[in-house]
Each structure stands twice: as C-alpha cells, then as structure tokens.
Structure 1
Amino acid sequence: MGLRWRISLWLLPFAVAVLGFIGSYYLANRQLLENQLQQTMQSALVSGSRELNVLLEQRSQEFKYLGRLIDECSNPRAGMDREQRFGLALGQVDGFSALAVSDLDGELQQLLMSPVASNRHILPRSVQGTSTLTRDTFKSLRQQLLQWQEQRQSYRGQIEALLDEQALMNQRGERNSQRYRQVQAQVAMLQGAIYQLPVTVLFSGASEVEQLGLPFRDDTYLFIRPYLNCDDQVAGFITAYLDWTRVEDSLYRTKQALLAQGFNNVDVVLADIAMSRWITKAGALADAGKPRGLDVMLEAEDSQLDRLGFIGSAAVSDPRQLMHRYRKAMPMVGIQGSGRRLLAEAESNFRLMVFIHRAEFEQRDRGLLSQALAWGGLSIGLLLVLIALLSKQIAQPVVDLTGSIKRLARGEKLTSSDSYRRDEIGQLIREFDCMAEALHHKSEQLLTQASTDSLTGCLTRRALTEVAQHLHQKTIATDDRLSLILMDLDHFKRINDQFGHSVGDKVLVAFCDQVRANLRSDDKFGRLGGEEFIVMFPGSGLLECLAIAERIRRSVAAMDLADENQQPITVTVSIGAYEWKTDDSFDQALRRGDGKLYQAKAMGRNRISF
C-alpha cells in the first residue's frame, strides 16, 4: 500500500471525529442559547415581579399612613374641615389617583384628586350623591365594621380589668414581677387593637374609574377602610384608588429591558389565573396562544421552549394577599389555634407573565448553524496538519497538568481527570489526581479542626467572629434584624469539683445537644470558652429570640443527668439576650450581652435577662 493510501486511512477516523465534534458543538451552543433565553426570561420575571410587589407593598403602607393622617384630629388639623383635612392627608402620599369619601350607606360625599403627575390634565367632576361601590360590597363592609365595633368594646373592657389588676399589683409592690410585665404587654396590645380599623382590598372599579374621570380605564386596586371623626366615631368609608399608571409603567420598563437586549417579539402582561383573563392588554402572547387560551398556557408553562416560545410566570400580590398582610400586622388578640391558621397566606391568583416568541430563538439558532458550518469547513481544511494534532496529543495533557498544579497551589478543589490513557502521561495524571485528593482531604480536616470545638462540636470563638461579622454586614445591607443570647451554666465549677472533669465534659455535651434541639437551621451556635456559649439569630427580633431562649432554659433544667454512681446532677443555665444594634461591633454586642447575662445571674440564676 502506497504512502498516499496510508495517509488517507490515517485521516479517515480523524475526519469522522471532526464531523462529530462539529455536530456536538452546534448542539451544545443550541442548548446554551436556550438556557440563555430561559435565564433572560427568568431575570425579567424576577425583577418585574419584585418591582410590582414592592410597588403594591408601598401602596399598602401608604394607605396605613393615609388612614392615620385622616383619623388624626390634633393640631394643626383640628381647625380644618373634612375636605381640608382629607386633602392635606392625600397630598402627603403619591401612590393613589383619587380618594372617595362615602357615608355609612355607601353614598359618595366627596371625591379628592391626588396631585400626582398622572392627574395633571384631569378636571374634577361632580359626583355628589353617586355610589362608587356595589351594594354587596358595602354590606360586607358594614358587617366588618359591626364586628370591629363589638370587638373594640370588648377590648376596652379587657383594658379596664387589666388596669385594675395592675393597680393592685402596684399597691402590693409587684412592679418587677413577670405577671406585671405580662399585664403591661397585654394592655399595650389591646390599646393598639382598638384603633386598628378593618381594611378591605379589592381589584375592580373600571366603570367607577371612568365615571370619576381618572387617567386610566382599567380595574385597579381599591383600598377601603372606615374613618373616624374627631369625636372618635365612625363617620363613613374612604376608598383609595391605586394609580394604575404606576403598574403600567412597571410593565413597560420590564418590556423595554427585554427590547434593549435585542428581542423584538416579546410580551409582558398581568393575568388573573382564577378568572382566566388578562388583566393588562396582551399582544404577542395572546396572538401566539390562539387557540390554546390562557388556561392551557398556564398549565403547560414551565419556562421551556415549546412551539410558541418561552413562557414564564411569577406571583404578584393580589387583594387577598394584601388583606392577609393587613390582618397579619394586627395584634393577635383573642385569636388562637385554628383562628391563627386562617391567617395563613394564600397563593396569589395574579401572575406576571413574560413571553419570548420562538422566532427569537430560531433567528439566533440560524446564526449558530451558519457558524458551525463555517467551523466545519475550516476544520476539514486543516486535516492535513496531522503532525500538529499529534503534538497536541502529547503537549495538551502536560499543559492541563500544569494548570491543575497552579489551581491546586491557589487552594482550589480539583475534579478527577478520569484519564483513559495507559501510557506514562496517563499514569502521571492519575498519580497527580491521587495526590491532589489527599491534599484536599487534609486541608478540609485542618479547616474543620480550626472552626469546630472538639468536645461540643460548636463553632470556635475564631469561627464565631467571622460568622458574626458576616451576619452583621448582611443585616445592615438588608435592613433586617439580628439578636443573640449568651448562656452560662450555673455553678459549673461546683460540678467539676464534685463529680470530676469527665462528668463536666458530659454535662457540656448534653447541654449543647439540648440547645441544638431548640434551634432553627439558620441559627449560629458557638462556644466562647469554658461553660459560656452564644447563639445568634439572623432575621429575628428580641421577641423571637426570647421565645427560643426560654425553650432552651426549660429543656436544660429538665435534663436527667447522673454520674457513674447514679447520683443526680442538677444543671441550669443563665441567659442574657440582646438585639444587636447596627452601629455596635461584635465585641460591643458581646459586652452588652454579657451585661444581660450577669444581670440574670445576679437575679438568682436559671433565668433570662434582656
């Protein structure tokens, strides 16, 4: 056989491999393209739904603030009439288009237009004597009002009884008792509940919006509550109309973000899955969905590419969820068991839907195919460079091994190369993999020893300092709360002296087991030294912290421990609780927690000071 035939036979397997590589390259990039479009859609969903939910939450808070301003009759509002007082209050919020004031029978008495930008070309209309809500709606509002008034009277009776009890305890000198503090807390809770008027949130009003002459013609969120006159009596209802142009602007910004990335055939809409309808106008999504309809599209939507394109949805707060948050913020007076479970937040029926048409994918896919074909032609043309390829077979493993050594030197974890070669280079790679794995295990062991207390398995003081700094910075960035407790076993030296250090070590281990049993997954538990321990509660205020601390204190006191001679060992713990202020360092927080801990010990041990 001549040399030409031999070269042809040598190149044949390589030609097949090159063609296979081209196909794999195209398929991999096609999958990458699909993943990128999915991520783009998901990113638009996340940012768009977050913006809408923040907008609605801000409006909820504004409505609370508006209600407080309207109910406030102190100076300088005491000398104003109702229209002046309500207009002044409406001018201090910017999320509502109008405020309708109705009497207790639902008849509209006054309409105030908000000085927001969207109302600048709107002329006020005369709506005296009309009604902006249905008869059934006002019937429901009246029922809620009657229930609130009955409950309010009950609260006042409870407050009087509690104040009488508080006066008796003052006479007996029991101001520092636990019951006295409980009575104070109950009085404060009941006083807050007296002025917590019921709030109703609806999504309707398209016909009323047109009647009132607002700058949009769609349903919107209606925030409704009773209002009090300056004699502390319910005088009627106020209805705040959310400025729907804010929602439309948010959807527009989400769509513009997609258009700015080069997408032309996209849609961003709001949908009501309970009513199977579009809340906002659907263009490309409604056209592409024919004749499937919204129901079928929602059942099939999973962000994957189908014959329509990419469809994804994210929950947006509907009226039920907004009302749930109002009720959740109310003092939980007299609500027990199943009543509390009724306040569990239901899943929203409103969805933000983002749609990227399949044509966007196909257009980019054609570009990938052209690129793959071009690379294929170039690869076929380079088949004659066999010597360079053979050199690569020798040099590339060495380059990869050099890169692995550099990554190993930087402390990165290496994955096994699974080398199939049976020559010296393959043996070298396998031996290197074994060495890298051994070094990694050794490094992990050293790290664990440095950050974990060998006796109790808790975090060491050094590891605690790093964790505390991270949690503190995260708390500041997210405007969240962070609390901590310091714990010290009472008379632990006496246990060591009486029973020996081995028994003392067992007591420490049993104590740590009890603490862990009462902690949540995000709580951080560590040993400061000796019998002193600390727990940090990210995202929790002092009340949540105190509840967990009390469970720990009780479970420690209930431990059934004995030495080798079955002599019982009594163990109690003193706890100091403190909510970490944002301007305190970790050392300052420890000192403040230590102060609370010493207070607990000075008060007789086996207790919590905060």
Structure 2
Amino acid sequence: MNLLTKILLWMFPVALPVMGFTWSYYQVQLDATAEQVGNIGSLVSTSGAQRLNDFLSLRVSEFVLLGGSINNCDAIDSASNFMLSVRNALQQSQGFSALVIADEMGKVEASQVARVTQSQADSTRILQNSQLFDVWRFKHIEALFKRWQNDLPELQQQKNALFMQALSMERKGEADSASYFHLQNRIFSLASQIARPPVHIDYAGKREAVLMGLSSERDTFLFTQPLITCAGHLKGYVTAFLDRTQIDEILNDLRQSLADRGINAADVVLLRTNPLRVESDYRYLNTVALKNFSLSLPPAGKFSHQFDGFLASAPVADDQVLNKVIAQMSATALNVSVAEYQDYIDQFSSFSLLVFIADSGWREGGKKLLLEASAWLIVSMCLLFVLVYMLAQNIVAPVARLKQSIDQVEAGDLSVKAEVSSADEIGQLASAFNRMTNTLQRSEEELIRLAREDALTGLMNRRALIEEAIKERHRAQRLTTTIAIAMIDLDRFKDINDRHGHAAGDWALKEFTRIMQGMLRKTDLFSRIGGEEFVLLLPDTDLSTAHRLVDTLLSSLRQSQIELEDGAVVQLTFSAGVVIWSEDSGFDEVLRCADEKLYQAKLAGRNKVVS
C-alpha cells in the first residue's frame, strides 16, 4: 500500500465529519433562514393588521366628528351654507378623500373631492343624478333611519324621565353619589342617540371613485349618515369615501419593511374571504391556487408547497365590524375598548392581511450559502491532504480538537473558538474556522439588531419599544414612579415628500431624530413606529413635567431649520399627545390614549402639545 493510499485512508474518517459538518452547517443555516423568514412574515402580518385596524378605528371616530359638523340643521336648510360646511369638513379630515350628497331617494345631488382638479370637477358633474346606492343598500340605510326615527319618542321619554330622576337626586343632596354619576352617563348616552342619526358603513364605491377621478379607483369604505332638517325631516344622505390611498400606503410600507430585510419577492395584500377577492395589488401570489386553499393558517403562518412560499395572515376589520363599532359608540357615547374591537374582528370580519413570501425570494441566499459551504469543504479537504502527507503523525491531536469545535458549532454553540496552536496549515484552518463562526455570530447579531432598530433613523422600532416599555413599567412599579408617554407626529410631512422627493423626506426624518436626541434626557426612550410617527417614553415623569418637556422640544424644533440635500430649507413642527401610563392599562391602550390626544392637537391646528 503506497503512501498516497494510506493518506487517503487516514483522511477518510476525518473527511466524513468535515463533509457532515459542511452539509449540517448548510442545512442548519437554511433552516434558520427559513425560520427567520417565517418570523418576519408573521411579525409583518400581525403588526400590519394592527396598523390597519388602528387606522380604520381612527376613521370611525373621525367620521363621528365629521358627521356632527356636517349634520347641522341650520346649514342643511341653506344650500350655500351646507356646501361650505361640507367643503370645510372635508378639508379638515385626515382620512377621507370625497364627500357625496344624495337626496332622500339616494340620487346624487352634489359631491366634493378633497383635492379638486379640472378633470375631477367635470367627473363629479357626470356623477350627479346617478343612483349612489344599490337597492339593497338603500333599503338597509332607509330601514336604519326609520327605526331610529320611530325610536325617538321613546328615547326622549326615557331621557326626560332620567332627567327628572337626576333633579330629584340633586335636591336630596345625592349629586356626588355613584348612582347619580351612572344616571348622568345614561342621560348622556340617550342624548347622543337622539342627536346622532344612525351611520352605515359599506365596502363599495369603485364606480363612483372612477367617475370622481379619485387617486385610487378601487372599492373603499363608505360612511353614510342621514341629513336631518331643523324640522326633523329627512333631507338626504351624506357619504364619505375613506381615502383608499392611505390603506395602499400602509401596504406599501409593509412591503418595504420586508425589502429592507432583504425579502424582495413578497406580497402584502388585503384579502376578502367572502367572496374571495384580493383587494390590492400583488405580484407573486398565485390567486388560482388561493381559491382552493384553506385560509385557516396557524398564528405563526406556514410554508406551502402549493404556493411555493410562506403565508401568514391576520384578521382586519371589515364593514360589518365597523358597523358594530359605530353602533356601540352611538348607543353608549363611548369608544369601543381595544379588547372589544379585537373580539369583533376575530368573530365577524371577512377581511385579512395576507403576507406571502415566495421561496425564490430567500432561497437565493441558500444557494450562495451552499456554494460557500462547498468552497469551505474543498479548502478544508485540500489542507487536510497536504497536512496528512507532511505531518501524518502530528496531525491527529490538532484535528481532534478542531473536530470537537466543529461538533460544538453543529450543536448550535457559535461562541466556540478553535485553538490556534501554530502558524501552519492546521493553524490557518482553525483561524478560518474562527472567522467563519465570527461571521455567523455577526450575522445573528445583525439580524437581532435589524429586528429592533428602525433602518432609517437608527431609533428603536415598535417591537423594541414594547420590550423596553415593559422593563420600564416593572421598574416604575417597584419604585412607585410614573411613566409619561408622548405620541408625536410631524405636521404636513407629506408636503416635503411631494415637493422635494422621498429622499429629502428621509433626510428630514434623520435630522429631526438628531435634533430630538440632542435634547432628550439619558433615561428617555425615543422610538419611530412608522412613517412620521414617533413615541417618546419618559420614565419618572409626571404629566405636567412631560407636557413641559415635549413643549420645549417643540419650541426648539420651531427654532431649527433643516437644510435638505438640494439646498432647500424646511421648517418642521409636530403635534403631540401626552398621557400618563396608568397602572390598569396595557401598552397598546396607553398608545391609543396618546394617539387620541395627538388627534386633538391635529384638530386644534397642529404645532401643539395636548395632554
């Protein structure tokens, strides 16, 4: 047996573990990549659905305010004053793109588009005298109004009886009692039902959107409310078209968040299950297979060979859910709780947010990984052959130690380091092995960082904010201190994107972040949760101090000018809502409260802090 044959025999038992490690390394990394893709897809579906649900919930609250400003009988009785109030209400709205006025038979009398061009003005004239509602919708809306009209005398009697009961309790000195407080709430609820005609929400309007020349020519959520004259007669109906482009922008943001993580072959779509229809643009999703596919996906989503990719979905509020929400708001004069809202969505919604990640979008990295692993295998085998040939007797111990390290990495311990005892080929192999594990460690650390950090500003993202907020909550409970939360939204930031481009908008966001970080305390936590929305968590801070601090930040921002890359100078301001995180509320609830304060600041003219 010649020396070459002996070397090959000596190499055989060592070569097998090396090959096994290489293949295992490839499989482990491929599985880890698949798991990471699944986690990201599930996270995007749940967070995206939450974002859409929050957006729709805000639009319900906004329409209640918008409908109240339009449904003024003095203005309704005057045609010119009424159209002026319609235009003013639409200009002040955040989430509606058009208002359509129909007569009592459902025929269009007038329409108002948020941003009117000449072609849109011509289109709205074409819409006049057309039937806004189909027969079923009109009968349903008419029935709601008649039921409300028939209930008015009884509601008024109940209100009067409760009012007299309240007067009696006041005379008895019981005005501070819990019963009196409960009675006042019931009176307020009845007054709200009497004053507010019923609202009906539909998902339709594609034809009208096309005729009016709206930016998105798709079905959207239509909010309809009767118009009542001062004499109590039905004048007609006002229908608000939810700005569908804002839903599309949210979907685009979610797709971009996947692209920022290196997942480009992906779709994020709004899906209606009854009837089955994709309500947004898609590129990779196989809609033919979708018709024969069960959408009862597990919460974490799943990989499907039928679709050649990963699917994850989360329920989103539809028109049926929103009707239940606004009906409860009308009946109780109170906002629906987050838990009740989610229960409605889980039970009744036929909409869902579907995230699809094609296998082709992430398996390309697996091919590169296989080539890398194969290259390492070839290099390792060549080095091993040379070393065995030259140092057949002295190679056993170093290789044994290296194999032990390989086994540890194969078991999942990437912190292991191979011993480099010499500068020869074995030492080089050990060093290369260490570089490989270091690369893997850095990759894992980078993935963790990307999962917690906003890619544009470097601030914490929503996920990281929630984790840090929970820690601060536990600390505050131990020390019996308070935590203030500020929801911040840059005013008219869309104008910067429209005038200077999105690159300039990104630069402005970075500069805004730099200015804010330069003024915050070391203990404050600053996070970007999406677009131009930021959250500031202020530990050990009461409400007045928090209001003063945020107001100081706003004042300093007013005095700062941001020079864009094209030389233009812009002035940023923000609106903010500040609240205290109470002990009996969760983080989502306190964010919602802060968002309501922020909404009040927006309604008050922006560039304000409301607490």
Q: Secondary structure at the match of 1:133?
A: coil
Q: Secondary structure at the match of 2:92?
A: coil
Q: Residue type of the partner of 1:147? A: R
Q: Deviations over 1:502-533 (max 9, x none)?
A: xxxxxxxxxxxxxxxxxxxxxxxxxxxxxxxx
Find the aligned partners of 1:37 and 1:396 in 2 and give their Cα distance.
Answer: 26
In the other structure, the counterpart of 2:114 is: 114
Find the aligned partners of 2:79 and 2:122 in 1 and give their Cα distance.
Answer: 29
In the other structure, the counterpart of 1:306 is: 305
What's the CA shift for 1:374? Answer: 1.1
Find the aligned partners of 2:151 and 2:21 in 1 and give their Cα distance.
Answer: 75
Q: Deviations over 1:370-414 (max 9, x none)?
A: 1111111222234344342356689999xxxxx9xxxxxxxxxxx
Q: Secondary structure at the match of 1:537?
A: coil
1:122/1:466 Cα in 2 relative to 1: closer, same or farther (>3 Å)? same
Contact 1:119 1:215 (C-alpha < 8 Å) held by counterparts? no
Contact 1:97 1:116 (C-alpha < 8 Å) held by counterparts? no
Identity value in percent: 26
Contact 2:198 2:330 (C-alpha < 8 Å) held by counterparts? no
Matched, 1:361 2:362: yes
Find the aligned partners of 2:247 and 2:178 in 1 and give their Cα distance.
Answer: 50
Find the aligned partners of 2:126 and 2:404 in 1 and give their Cα distance.
Answer: 89
Find the aligned partners of 1:117 and 1:48 in 2 and give their Cα distance.
Answer: 33
Q: Residue type of the partner of 2:187? A: V
1:104/1:475 Cα in 2 relative to 1: closer, same or farther (>3 Å)? same
What's the CA shift for 1:83? Answer: 1.3
In the other structure, the counterpart of 1:203 is: 203
Find the aligned partners of 1:164 and 1:190 in 2 and give their Cα distance.
Answer: 14
Find the aligned partners of 2:185 and 2:106 in 1 and give their Cα distance.
Answer: 38
In the other structure, the counterpart of 2:255 is: 255
In the other structure, the counterpart of 1:388 is: 398
Q: Deviations over 1:395-445 (max 9, x none)?
A: 999xxxxx9xxxxxxxxxxxxxxxxxxxxxxxxxxxxxxxxxxxxxxxxxx
Q: Residue type of the partner of 2:218? A: D
Find the aligned partners of 2:246 and 2:118 in 1 and give their Cα distance.
Answer: 9
Deviates more, 1:315-324 or 1:9-18: 9-18
What's the CA shift for 1:469? Answer: 5.7
Find the aligned partners of 2:129 and 2:117 in 1 and give their Cα distance.
Answer: 28
Contact 1:96 1:240 (C-alpha < 8 Å) held by counterparts? yes
Find the aligned partners of 1:117 and 1:39 in 2 and give their Cα distance.
Answer: 44
Q: Residue type of the partner of 1:56? A: L
What's the CA shift for 1:27? Answer: 0.9
Contact 1:276 1:295 (C-alpha < 8 Å) held by counterparts? no
The equivalent position to 1:296 in structure 2, one of 293, 297, 317, is: 293
In the other structure, the counterpart of 1:378 is: 379
Q: Superposed, which structure 2 residues align to 1:88-237 within 5 Å?
A: 88-115=88-115, 124-231=124-231, 233-237=233-237
Q: Residue type of the partner of 2:370? A: L
Find the aligned partners of 1:251 and 1:396 in 2 and give their Cα distance.
Answer: 44
Larger Rg: 1
1:466/1:183 Cα in 2 relative to 1: closer, same or farther (>3 Å)? closer
Find the aligned partners of 2:174 and 2:276 in 1 and give their Cα distance.
Answer: 62
1:284/1:167 Cα in 2 relative to 1: closer, same or farther (>3 Å)? closer
Contact 2:99 2:238 (C-alpha < 8 Å) held by counterparts? yes
Matched, 1:473 2:472: no
Q: Deviations over 1:7-32 (max 9, x none)?
A: 87665433222222112111101101
Find the aligned partners of 1:267 and 1:62 in 2 and give their Cα distance.
Answer: 30
What's the CA shift for 1:183? Answer: 2.9
What's the CA shift for 1:232? Answer: 5.5
Contact 1:166 1:180 (C-alpha < 8 Å) held by counterparts? yes
Find the aligned partners of 1:178 and 1:247 in 2 and give their Cα distance.
Answer: 43
In the other structure, the counterpart of 1:545 is: none
Find the aligned partners of 1:45 and 1:208 in 2 and give their Cα distance.
Answer: 30
Q: Residue type of the partner of 2:366? A: D
TM-score, reference length from structure 2: 0.59
What's the CA shift for 1:140? Answer: 0.9
What's the CA shift for 1:363? Answer: 2.1
Find the aligned partners of 1:540 and 1:261 in 2 and give their Cα distance.
Answer: 26
Q: Secondary structure at the match of 2:100?
A: strand
What's the CA shift for 1:355? Answer: 2.1
Find the aligned partners of 2:397 and 2:63 in 1 and give their Cα distance.
Answer: 77
Deviates more, 1:344-353 or 1:132-141: 344-353
What's the CA shift for 1:350? Answer: 1.3
Q: Secondary structure at the match of 1:356?
A: strand
The equivalent position to 1:537 in structure 2, one of 584, 587, 607, is: 584
What's the CA shift for 1:211? Answer: 3.5
Q: Secondary structure at the match of 2:133?
A: coil
In the other structure, the counterpart of 2:49 is: 49
Q: Residue type of the partner of 2:44? A: A
Q: Residue type of the partner of 1:296? A: F
Number of residues of Structure 1 aligned to a counterpart in Structure 2: 419
Find the aligned partners of 1:387 and 1:475 in 2 and give their Cα distance.
Answer: 60
Q: Superposed, which structure 2 residues align to 1:441-460 within 5 Å?
A: none
Find the aligned partners of 1:35 and 1:142 in 2 and give their Cα distance.
Answer: 52
1:375/1:243 Cα in 2 relative to 1: closer, same or farther (>3 Å)? same
Q: Secondary structure at the match of 2:282?
A: coil
Find the aligned partners of 1:381 and 1:154 in 2 and give their Cα distance.
Answer: 93
Matched, 1:330 2:330: yes
Q: Residue type of the partner of 1:133? A: F
Find the aligned partners of 1:51 and 1:156 in 2 and give their Cα distance.
Answer: 39
Q: Deviations over 1:229-287 (max 9, x none)?
A: 3456542211111222222333333334434544443333222111112222433213x
Contact 2:315 2:352 (C-alpha < 8 Å) held by counterparts? yes
What's the CA shift for 1:65? Answer: 1.6
Find the aligned partners of 1:376 and 1:465 in 2 and give their Cα distance.
Answer: 51
In the other structure, the counterpart of 1:505 is: none
Find the aligned partners of 1:32 and 1:350 in 2 and give their Cα distance.
Answer: 31
In the other structure, the counterpart of 2:17 is: 17
What's the CA shift for 1:99? Answer: 0.8
Q: Secondary structure at the match of 1:354?
A: strand
Find the aligned partners of 2:383 and 2:399 in 1 and give their Cα distance.
Answer: 10
Find the aligned partners of 1:185 and 1:53 in 2 and give their Cα distance.
Answer: 28
Find the aligned partners of 1:88 and 1:46 in 2 and give their Cα distance.
Answer: 36
Q: Secondary structure at the match of 1:198?
A: coil
Instruction: Name stretches of at least 5 consecutive residues in structure 1 with no aligned partner.
Output: 334-339, 398-402, 404-462, 481-534, 542-581, 583-610
Q: Secondary structure at the match of 1:280?
A: coil
Contact 2:124 2:211 (C-alpha < 8 Å) held by counterparts? no
Instruction: Name stretches of at least 5 consecutive residues in structure 2 with no aligned partner.
Output: 334-339, 388-394, 408-412, 414-472, 488-534, 538-581, 589-596, 598-611
Find the aligned partners of 1:143 and 1:472 in 2 and give their Cα distance.
Answer: 50
1:391/1:329 Cα in 2 relative to 1: closer, same or farther (>3 Å)? same
Cα RMSD between the aligned structures?
Answer: 4.4
Q: Residue type of the partner of 2:81? A: D
Deviates more, 1:464-473 or 1:28-37: 464-473
In the other structure, the counterpart of 1:490 is: none
Q: Secondary structure at the match of 1:285?
A: coil
What's the CA shift for 1:43? Answer: 3.8
Matched, 1:32 2:79: no
